[in-house]
Amino acid sequence: MRIGFDAKKAMRNRTGIGNYSRRCIQAVKEEGADIRLFYNGIPVWGELWRNAFQWLSIRKAHIDVYHGLSNELPFGIGWSGAKSVVTIHDLIFLRFPQTYGWLQRQILKLKTRYACSRADKIIAVSEMTKRDIIHFYGTNSSRIEVIYQSIDDVYRRPCTDEQLRSAVERYQLPQKFVLCVGTIQARKNQHTLVKALPHLSADVHLILVGKEEAYAQQVRQTAEQLGVAERVHIYKGVPTADLPAFYQLASVFACLSRFEGFGIPLAEAIASGTPVIGATGSCLEEAAGPDSVYLDPDDSEGLAKAIAEILADPQQAQRMSERGKEYSLRFTDESLGQSLTALYKQLLA
Name the percent of the chain lying above pLDDT 70.
Answer: 100
Q: What's the CA gap between 232 and 191, in Å, rounded?
A: 11
Q: What's the CA gap between 117 and 108, in Å, rounded?
A: 14
What is the pLDDT at residue 51? 85
CATH number, residue 12? 3.40.50.2000
Which range has the worst mean pLDDT, 42-56, 66-80, 151-165?
42-56
In this structure, the answer to whether residues 75 and 167 fall within a common structural domain is no
What is the pLDDT at residue 271? 98
pLDDT band at residue 66 using 50, 70 and 90 as cut-offs: very high
What is the pLDDT at residue 193? 98
CB 73 within 8 A of CB 337: no
* Cα 108 versus chain centre, distance: 18
Query: Would you report the helix, strand and coil content of the chain in percent, each value rounded to 5?
Result: 55, 15, 30
Q: What is the mean pLDDT of residues 246-252?
A: 98
**Interior/surface letters 232-252, b for 16+ CB within 10 angstroms, e for the rest:** bbbeeebeeebbbbbbbbbbb
pLDDT band at residue 44 using 50, 70 and 90 as cut-offs: confident
In this structure, the answer to whether residues 320 and 199 fall within a common structural domain is yes
Q: CA angle, 44 as apex, 43 and 50 as ends, to 5°?
A: 100
In this structure, the answer to whether residues 316 and 339 fall within a common structural domain is no
188, with CB counted inside 10 A (0-12, 13-18, 19+), is buried
Name the percent of the chain lying above pLDDT 90.
Answer: 94
In this structure, the answer to whether residues 113 and 177 fall within a common structural domain is no
In this structure, the answer to whether residues 122 and 203 fall within a common structural domain is no
In this structure, the answer to whether residues 188 and 258 fall within a common structural domain is yes
Count how many domains the chain has. Answer: 2
pLDDT tens sequence across 154-212:
999 999 999 999 999 999 999 999 999 999 999 999 999 999 999 999 999 999 999 99
Residue ranges making up the domain that contains 226:
153-329
What is the pLDDT at residue 314? 97
Q: What is the mean pLDDT of residues 283-306?
A: 97
In this structure, the answer to whether residues 325 and 337 fall within a common structural domain is no
Q: Tell me what the pLDDT averaged over the chain comes to.
A: 96
In this structure, the answer to whether residues 161 and 265 fall within a common structural domain is yes
pLDDT tens sequence across 123-146:
999 999 999 999 999 999 999 999
Q: What's the CA gap between 280 and 284, in Å, rounded?
A: 7
In this structure, the answer to whether residues 131 and 203 fall within a common structural domain is no
In this structure, the answer to whether residues 146 and 190 fall within a common structural domain is no
CB 178 within 8 A of CB 193: yes
pLDDT tens sequence across 1-35:
999 999 999 998 888 899 999 999 999 999 999 99
In this structure, the answer to whether residues 207 and 296 fall within a common structural domain is yes
pLDDT band at residue 46 using 50, 70 and 90 as cut-offs: confident
For the chain, report the end-to-end CA distance as a whole number of angstroms: 11
In this structure, the answer to whether residues 340 and 288 fall within a common structural domain is no
Put the strands of the sheet holding 205-209 in their side by side order: 232-235, 205-209, 177-181, 252-255, 276-279, 293-295
pTM (global) more than 0.85 = yes
Question: In 3-state terms, what secondary structure has residue 340?
Answer: helix
